[in-house]
């Protein structure tokens, strides 16, 4: 049997730089890697099942939206291999309704939210005038389990009709109605942040929610604007979801509250800013790649 330190499953063309960088960092540490892609996933699955190939750790960035990777994912889930973002945790982390309640329980400020049962369970919805008044206009409609990449999310909703129409798109999904959060500004910059938790390290960035443009957030800025709460929120999110790699969106409001707007994004877009205007700053991507390699190194030392 051939055993690799890290298996990398990926299927998105824009992940190429991210995957290459992880491999580079692993190789610097003397670690072996193996790519699982569309052209070889069936053969790798066959070899893995036959005990001819194995991995000490595995990063899966494919099976969430490509069924050809699912048989391998199921085998990995039943194995003793350390899979980053364990499959058993992902189902919970994808459910925004459950995460919302968990955040409330942990004392994290979240948008005012009304949780609605799936359309197939209850076609009618009952909303009181006080609930609608508290929700305000415009508001946001989002399915609890179908929001990867913003799928199904309606921003700027104004009416009950939009709620009824949206629920029919994902009839088995719970829906969240959320108030629109308006961030304050810090020296002319929108106080909206994306916070990465990357294999043990927390990395906060400026992230404009309307332009999707990132900027690095320095330690000096964290002190100047008193943004230490960002790290604390991420630490709580780790406790809630137990994932190894994810991001959260947090907005600082005019009344000084740090509001978690998007709780857990379990598949982070790692396109480089040098190649895509709305990509992640290259230095941050490099740091995440390094963190991944260090995590692999730490785990493989314990396994071997």
With a pLDDT cut of 90, the percent of the chain lying above it is 76
Phi-psi region of 242 (alpha: psi -120 to 50; beta: other; left: phi over 0): left
pLDDT of 150 strictly over 60: no
- Check whether 43 has a pLDDT greater than 70: yes
Q: Which residue has the higher pLDDT, 211 or 169?
A: 211
- Asked if the model's pLDDT at residue 304 lies above 60, the reply is no
Name the CATH topology of 112-179.
Answer: Dna Ligase; domain 1 (3.30.1490)
pLDDT mean over 235-262: 97
Q: What's 31-77 look like in SS3?
A: CCEEEECCCCHHHHHHHHHCCCEEEEEEEEECCCCCHHHHHHHHHHH
Which of 60-69, 145-154, 248-257 has the lowest average pLDDT?
145-154
Output the CA–CA distances (angstroms, integers) from residue 145 to 98, 169, 172, in the order listed: 10, 12, 10
Q: In the structure encoding, which two tokens stand for residue 165, read together? A: 């129409």
| Residue range 101-110, pLDDT digits in tens | 999 999 999 9
Q: What is the pLDDT of residue 22?
A: 99
How much is the pTM? 0.91
Task: Return the pLDDT at 167.
Answer: 80
Q: Give the rounded percent of residues in the chain with a pLDDT score beyond 70.
A: 97
CA-derived radius of gyration, the chain: 21
**How many residues are listed for the chain in this entry?**
304
* Angle of helix 16-28 versus helix 282-303 axis, rounded to 10: 50
Please check the confidence at residue 254 and state whether its pLDDT lies above 60: yes
Residue boundaries of the structural domains of the chain: 2-84+289-303, 112-179, 183-265
Fold of 2-84+289-303: Rossmann fold (3.40.50)
């Amino acid at each position: 049997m051939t055993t690799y330190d890290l298996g990398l499953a990926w299927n998105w063309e824009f992940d190429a730089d991210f995957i290459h960088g992880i491999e580079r960092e692993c190789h610097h540490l003397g670690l072996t890697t193996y790519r699982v892609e569309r052209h070889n996933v069936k053969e790798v699955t066959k070899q893995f099942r036959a005990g001819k190939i194995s991995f000490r750790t595995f990063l899966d960035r494919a099976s969430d939206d490509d069924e050809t990777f699912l048989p391998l994912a199921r085998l990995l889930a039943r194995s003793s291999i350390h899979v980053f973002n364990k499959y058993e945790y992902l189902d919970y982390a994808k459910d925004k309704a459950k995460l919302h309640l968990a955040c409330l329980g942990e004392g994290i400020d979240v948008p005012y939210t009304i949780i609605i049962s799936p359309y197939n369970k209850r076609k009618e919805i009952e909303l009181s005038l006080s609930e609608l008044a508290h929700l305000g206009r415009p508001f946001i409609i989002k399915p609890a389990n179908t929001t990867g990449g913003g799928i199904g999310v309606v921003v700027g909703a104004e009416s009950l009709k939009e709620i009824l129409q949206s629920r029919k798109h994902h009839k088995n999904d719970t829906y969240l109605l959320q108030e629109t959060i308006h961030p304050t500004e810090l020296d002319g910059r929108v106080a909206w942040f994306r916070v990465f938790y990357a294999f043990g390290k927390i990395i906060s960035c400026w992230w404009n929610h309307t332009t999707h443009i990132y900027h690095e957030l320095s330690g000096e800025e964290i002190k100047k604007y008193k943004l230490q709460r960002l790290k604390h929120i991420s630490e709580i999110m780790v406790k809630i979801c137990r994932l190894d790699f994810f991001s959260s969106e947090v907005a600082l409001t005019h009344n000084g509250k740090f509001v978690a707007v998007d709780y857990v994004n379990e598949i982070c877009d790692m396109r480089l800013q040098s190649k895509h205007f709305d990509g992640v700053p290259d230095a941050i991507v490099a740091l995440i790649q390094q963190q991944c390699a260090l995590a692999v190194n730490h785990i493989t030392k314990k396994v071997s």
